Amino acid sequence: MFSKKEEKRAPCTVEQCESCKKDTKRKFVVGDYVFKETSLCVSCSGQLRITKIFGEIIKA
Amino acid sequence: MGFGDDTNPVLWLIWIIPIIIFVFYGQRIQLQITSSEIKKNITKLQQFKENSRKELINYIKNNLNPTKDPAPKLDRFIDYFTIMPVDMDPNGIIPKVRHVVRSREDNTRAQIKSLFSEISELERTKVQTLLEIVTSLQLLYKIVNHLYLTAKKQNNYPLILPLQMMMPFIMEEANALNGAVPALKQGQPIGDGIGPMVVGKMMLGTKKQNASFETVWSETKYEGRKLFLIKAEGPSATVGRPGEAIETIVSQNKPDLIIMVDASLKLEGEDSASISQGFGAAIGGIGTDRFQIEEIATRHNIPVFAIVIKQSVKEAINLMTKEIADRAEEVRSQIYEMINDNTSTGHTVLVIGVGNTLGVSQ
């Protein structure tokens, strides 16, 4: 009666371009870590850096 | 004839027999009901313990190429115990506690390394943390099972009452530990990593130097103040040795203010990911680092301010939630506000990001 339904969370990675400050969210990939420099921004070719990794609630 | 009529012997017996049963066997009946609930939780604890052990061994076998079968050695570790120093005379106990805990950590580190011909620091710290989780689950299972079996053996109902009261808290912790395994295996940041995440961003673009074991520091400027930043060395699964790191920095440059940023357990009713400010050394663990920091701050008369990000046990050791990750910017602006309010141009401030820095570099 009082038990709460367990929330399931999927890991997400947010990357930010150091030039245009655009954020992009994608699925977490093993090897990702916060502040890691990844690829180049598709809009301005600036350096992308991971700013956040978090678990997002999966909606049923 | 009404129900209150006690002249009927059949009705009289219906009343008196349950009373006699409850007088003589009440405790045993309660013991049966309570113990069946506890038994269910013990089965769950056993599953957690076995699953986490299996996951650790499979992770090592499938990802890290051990030189031999790791199971026998790991099983020996899982059963390791630590005898804390005698506290009848507590004077000077902190260095003894530190020595015992460090000896255990050093030995575990060496034994894990001996399982592989080569292992990165990131993987080594992940295995070490996973091993601590399995050991904690094993300990929880053993203690609960011992108390349960003792109460059953003695048919002693009062003995099972404290266990019944503690069971929800024990299960909350066990669920949190069990849920931490996937995040640890994949190297994802956990809720406790919010402190290192806040300070890690302030360290970007600065020269990182070794402050103490698995702990880094760097220097930066902010509105005419000199900032010294300390955090555990990421992205490994470590909390570093902030006490020793502060000792090193303070011996070279006495700061005018120390700010500590850490995750803190929230009280029931408090919002998750809420930010609180306060005074004193914000650092968990067994207390040796907190003692060292308090001692240094007192000796040099440095005020210690704290900023904590509230979270539950589960959130603290599981994959960081979006709500907690989103608070990093706000915590950083609170740090700068605190620096502006409490120091002047030319002052030096020491900012420490406390917590496990898994999945968070600098």
Q: pLDDT, tens digit, for every residue of B269-293? A: 999 999 999 999 999 999 999 999 9
Task: Indicate if the pLDDT at residue B348 is higher than 90.
Answer: yes
Please name which of B154, B194, B151 lies closest in space to residue B327, comparing C-alpha atoms: B194
Hey, are the CB atoms on A54 and B321 less than 8 Å from each other? yes
Structure tokens at B175: 């669920």
CATH number of the structural domain spanning residue B332 = 3.40.50.1470
Q: Do residues B178 and B297 both lie within one domain?
A: no
Buried-exposed string A21-31: b where 16+ CB fall within 10 A, e elsewhere: eeeeeeebeee
Lateral strand order in the sheet of B348-353:
B209-212, B215-222, B225-232, B348-353, B257-265, B304-311, B275-279
Question: What pLDDT shows up at residue B1?
Answer: 47
pLDDT of residue B268: 92
- Predicted TM-score of the model (pTM): 0.90
Report the DSSP beta bridge partners of residue B353: B231, B261
B360 domain-assigned: no
Say whether pLDDT at B195 is over 50.
yes
B62 with B161, same domain: the answer is yes
The domain of B277 spans: 191-353
Of the candidates B3, B69, B31, the one whose C-alpha atom is nearest the C-alpha of residue B156 is B31
Radius of gyration (C-alpha) of chain B in whole angstroms: 26
| Shortest Cα–Cα distance, B83 to chain A (Å) | 36
Phi, psi of B208 (to 5 degrees): -90, 130
Among B152, B186, B220, identify where a domain stops.
B186
Check if the beta carbon of residue B203 is closer than 8 Å to that of residue B142. Answer: no
ipTM of the predicted structure?
Answer: 0.91
- List the structure tokens of B18: 């349950």
| Residue B203 predicted with pLDDT over 50 | yes
> Above 50 in pLDDT, residue B103?
yes
Domain total in chain B:
2
pLDDT band at B184; cut points 50, 70, 90: very high
Domain end among B165, B186, B207: B186
Over residues A26-49, the mean pLDDT reads 95
Please check whether residue B245 lies inside any domain of the structure: yes
The verdict on a CB contact (< 8 Å) between B186 and A34 is no
| Cis amide bond preceding B235, omega within 30 | yes
B101 and B219 part of one domain: no
Answer whether residue B35 shows pLDDT above 90: no
Report the pLDDT averaged over residues B56-71.
93
Fold for A9-57, please state it: 60s Ribosomal Protein L30; Chain: A; (3.30.1330)
On average, the pLDDT of chain B sits at 94
Query: Would an 8 Å CB–CB cutoff place B360 in contact with chain A?
Result: yes
Residue of B188, B234, B235 lying closest to A28 (CB–CB): B188
Name every residue in A having a CB less than 8 A away from some CB of B: 9, 11-12, 28, 30-36, 51-57
Q: Is B56 among the domain residues?
A: yes
Residue with structure tokens 């005074």? B279
Instruction: Look at residue A6 in the predicted model and tell me its pLDDT.
Output: 73
Answer whether residue B136 shows pLDDT above 70: yes
Query: What is the predicted pLDDT for the residue at B124?
Result: 96
Q: Give residue B13's pLDDT.
A: 86
Question: Domain ranges in chain A?
Answer: 9-57
B213 with B111, same domain: the answer is no
H/E segment holding residue B19: helix B9-63
Which residues in chain A are contacts of B234 at CB distance < 8 A?
A: 33-35
Residue B320's closest chain A neighbor by CA? A54
Q: Does B33 lie in the same domain as B139?
A: yes
Angle formed at CA B123 by CA B120 and CA B176, multiple of 5 degrees? 160
At residue B5 the predicted structure's pLDDT band, cuts being 50, 70 and 90, is low
Range B18-37 burial, b when 16+ CB lie within 10 A, else e? eeeeeeeeeeeeebeebbee
